[in-house]
Structure formats: C-alpha cells, structure tokens
C-alpha cells in the first residue's frame, strides 16, 4: 500500500492518492495522529482507476497514519508526517563529513571515498585528511570532472596540538574544518606569526572567567584553530571529544571540551564517531546537549571517520535540512542547528541525536523515505564505477536513475 504525498504541511488541504492492490471490501478509512492520542477522523473517499482518492487537512504536527479497515480481514496502515510551514520549505540531505584518504592515514584515494559515500546513500560528504587540505580538493575536482551526482565539501581534520601530535594531541584534540577556503595547517607554517597569535589569544583568555583547570597557553591552540576556520569562511566541528586513546586518557582534555562548548564559537560536535571505544564515544551527547539552554546550540554530527572505502562508510551519518542542495545552504543549516546525527546499529533500530522535533521527523524519514533513496543512490554509484572501469558511457541509464530519485522526492513531499 502506497500513498502520495507522505510529508505534508499543517492545516493544509491535501489531495491524497492511495494505491492498494485490492480496493474491494473496504469498510472504512480513518486517520489517526500518533502524537495526539485522541485525534481520530473517518475519511470520505472515492475509488477511481483502482486508486483511493481523498482530501484531508492535518491539524497536528508529527507522524500520523491512514488506516484502511476491511470487512473480512485485518486493517492496513500507511504512515505520513505533518510539518509546520517553515520545516515544509526544507528538504533532508544525508551526509558524512569525516573520512580519510591516502593523503593522510587512509587506504584509498579521495575519489574512491567519494564514490563509496554515494554508494552508501550520501547526498554530500567531505574528505578530511589529517592536517591536509589537498585530499578534499582532489575529491572535489574528480567528482566534478566525472559529473558525479554528489556534493563534496572541502575539509581537513586539524590536529590542534600540531601536526606532529596528530594522534597524541597533548590534550588538545582534533577539530574538523569544513568548507573553509584554505588549509588551516598551512597557516601554522609561519611559526613566528603563529606563536604571536597564540600569545595574543592567551592574553585575552587570561581576562576571561574560564575553568581554573585550564592552562590558557595550551588552550589557546584550540581557539586559534576555530578562529582560523571562521576567517576562512568554514565551519568547525569538534571531532570525537570522548575518544580514549592508547594511554587510557581522553584524547581531548575534558575541561577544554566543556569550555569550547560554552565560549569558542564551535558550529558542531561529533556525537557519533569512530567506535574504537563505544561506551566512551557514546557519552558525547550527554555533555553537548546540557549546554542547549545556557549557551549556543551546537549542531550534532554523526560521521564515519572511515579510513577505507569499504570500512564503516554509511554506519554513521548526519541528516541536514536545507533550502536547496548547495554547499552554502548546508553551511547555513548547520549554523542554525538543523542537523540530526544517526548511528546505524546492527540488528537494532537506529540511534538518533538532535532536537526533539528533528529527531522524530528523521525517525520517520529513515523508515519511509530513505530505503528507496539509498537504494537508488547505490545504483547510481555502481553505474558511475562501471562507467569508469569500462571506459563506456551510461548516460541514459544514469539519467533514468536520477529521474527516479527526483520523482521519489517530488512524490514524497507535498509540493
């Protein structure tokens, strides 16, 4: 049983088309809200060309169901979702903003990571090599040159303590630089300027009321990185803040973590990252979301941190709600906190972290919208790869899959 559209605006008269193999023996059709227990209406409908047609205006935001009752067998239901006018203007994009290539400690090329992301159903991604901006630029160049239907953002995973401290980090941790117009690591090559800027930041920090456990000279490195990302028109995402490294300590000094959440103009925090120590990484949101009402809301992210094209890509991802499929729209939505982090758990339901309303909506989308979306994206990736391997053109087949993707979206969401 299928219905169009599946996502509609609140208090809007919507014409629905319900497809059912057998439209005989229907006793009644009802609409029920999952959120409002007492909302239940009977629907007037007509049947035309084996399609059930009806009009309805949903007054309650959230998930609701259409229930078809039969005279001789169990009822059938189909799920829909109702949004307010502002959210109705936005569309979901699925992405991964943290992975590595041969430009740092990854095992495959940036282009291979891009194609793997598309195969996992991503609409956008970023190659974020350790202290290296070039890998992401190569991914962008290759994707554009081969006309791949994937939005690639420039990226870099900055080792805050310095390139030589990539893994040890000395308590400073790592920060993802996304969509910046230049490398952050390259700006540390002018040592004299870098040290002078750190000193200036340290002096400013000494005048602020920050945690007494923080060494401002050391902490200044984190602030420097965030400021440089901002100057380069990028966004800063704190990577795996609760990662426990080999020495048994947190990779990031937790006093630094909490201070950055409050005062440093971060744009987001990874709440699901590489699961080397699952119980520690999954604690991330406990701290991140405690600041919601007191300080700036930071967008939650789930990223694969994949180091190979066939390892963990698609296990963790982020849904961003945007006005259009463009880098600028993605950045603007991230800055507004319009993200939901998802951890795809084996044999269990997905785990979601985001604002309540977004998380509930994403839960619906994962059930109803993304299975077909991901399948079509995977088909598209296979066509691109086959085309590259065999040196043949599959423009017609690619066009058909892209049209199916577009039709799926257009039919799913109310125009």
Q: Assess whether pLDDT exceeds 70 at residue 314.
A: yes
Residue 50, domain extent: 2-88
Question: CATH number of the domain that 68 lies in?
Answer: 2.60.40.1930
Q: Which of 367, 357, 327, 364 is nearest to 93 (CA)?
A: 327
Q: What's the total number of domains in the chain?
A: 3
Q: Which pTM does this prediction carry?
A: 0.94
pLDDT 10s digits, 116-165? 999 999 999 999 999 999 999 999 999 999 999 999 999 999 999 876 65
Higher pLDDT, 109 or 211: 109
Task: Give residue 322's pLDDT.
Answer: 98
Distance CA 336, CA 318 (A): 15
Q: Do 310 and 165 share a domain, yes or no? A: yes
* Banded model confidence at residue 392, pLDDT cuts 50, 70, 90: confident
pLDDT 10s digits, 339-353? 999 998 777 788 888
Q: Do 129 and 24 share a domain, yes or no? A: no
Q: Do 127 and 144 share a domain, yes or no? A: yes
Q: Assess whether pLDDT exceeds 60 at residue 245.
A: yes
Q: Do 161 and 268 share a domain, yes or no? A: yes
Q: Do 110 and 230 share a domain, yes or no? A: yes
Q: Do 13 and 41 share a domain, yes or no? A: yes
Q: Do 18 and 153 share a domain, yes or no? A: no
Q: Do 227 and 358 share a domain, yes or no? A: yes
Q: Are strands 40-42 and 2-4 parallel, antiparallel or unpaired?
A: unpaired
Q: Which of 1, 15, 6 is nearest to 81 (CA)?
A: 6
Q: Do 147 and 206 share a domain, yes or no? A: yes
Q: Assess whether pLDDT exceeds 60 at residue 219.
A: yes
Q: Do 45 and 173 share a domain, yes or no? A: no
Q: What is the mean pLDDT of the chain?
A: 91
Task: Give residue 24's pLDDT.
Answer: 85
Q: Do 95 and 177 share a domain, yes or no? A: yes
pLDDT 10s digits, 280-290? 565 665 555 55
Distance CA 113, CA 127 (A): 7
pLDDT 10s digits, 88-123? 999 999 999 999 999 999 999 999 999 999 999 999
Task: Give residue 231's pLDDT.
Answer: 97
Q: Do 74 and 192 share a domain, yes or no? A: no
Higher pLDDT, 78 or 74: 78
Question: CATH number of the domain that 281 lies in?
Answer: 3.20.20.140
Single residue among 72, 88, 104 that ends a domain in this structure: 88
Single residue among 32, 64, 88 that ends a domain in this structure: 88
């Amino acid at each position: 049983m299928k219905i169009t559209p599946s996502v509609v605006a609140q208090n809007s008269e919507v014409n629905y088309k319900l497809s059912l193999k057998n439209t005989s023996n229907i006793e009644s059709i009802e609409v029920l809200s999952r959120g409002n227990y007492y909302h239940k209406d009977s629907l007037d409908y007509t049947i035309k060309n084996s399609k059930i047609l009806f009009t309805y205006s949903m007054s309650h935001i959230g998930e609701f169901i259409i229930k078809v009752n039969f005279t001789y067998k169990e009822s059938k239901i189909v799920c829909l979702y109702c949004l307010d006018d502002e959210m109705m203007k936005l569309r979901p994009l699925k992405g991964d903003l943290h992975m590595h290539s041969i430009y740092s400690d990854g095992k495959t090329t940036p282009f291979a990571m891009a194609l793997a992301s598309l195969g996992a159903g991503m609409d956008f991604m970023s190659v974020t090599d350790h202290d290296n901006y070039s890998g992401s630029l190569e991914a962008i160049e290759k994707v554009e040159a081969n006309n791949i239907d994937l939005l690639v953002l420039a990226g870099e995973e900055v080792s805050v303590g310095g390139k030589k401290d990539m893994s040890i980090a000395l308590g400073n941790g790592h920060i993802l630089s996304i969509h910046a117009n230049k490398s952050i690591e390259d700006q540390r090559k002018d040592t004299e300027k870098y040290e002078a800027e750190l000193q200036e930041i340290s002096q400013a920090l000494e005048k602020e009321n920050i945690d007494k456990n923080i060494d401002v000279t050391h902490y200044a490195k984190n602030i420097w990185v965030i400021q440089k990302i901002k100057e380069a028109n990028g966004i800063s995402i704190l990577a795996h803040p609760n990662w426990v490294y080999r020495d048994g300590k947190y990779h990031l000094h937790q006093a630094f973590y909490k201070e950055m959440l409050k005062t440093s103009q971060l744009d987001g925090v990874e709440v699901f990252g590489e699961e080397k120590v699952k119980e520690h990484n999954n604690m991330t949101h406990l701290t991140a979301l405690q600041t919601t009402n007191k300080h700036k809301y930071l967008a939650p992210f789930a990223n694969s941190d994949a180091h190979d094209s066939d390892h963990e890509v698609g296990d963790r991802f982020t849904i961003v709600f945007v006005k259009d499929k463009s880098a600028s729209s993605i950045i603007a939505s991230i800055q507004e906190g319009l993200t939901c982090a998802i951890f795809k758990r084996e044999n269990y339901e997905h785990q979601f972290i985001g604002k309540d309303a977004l998380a509930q909506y994403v839960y619906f989308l994962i059930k109803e919208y993304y299975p077909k979306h991901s399948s079509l994206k995977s088909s598209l990736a296979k066509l691109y790869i086959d085309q590259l391997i065999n040196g043949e053109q599959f423009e017609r087949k690619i066009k058909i899959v892209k049209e199916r993707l577009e039709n799926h979206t257009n039919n799913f969401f109310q125009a």
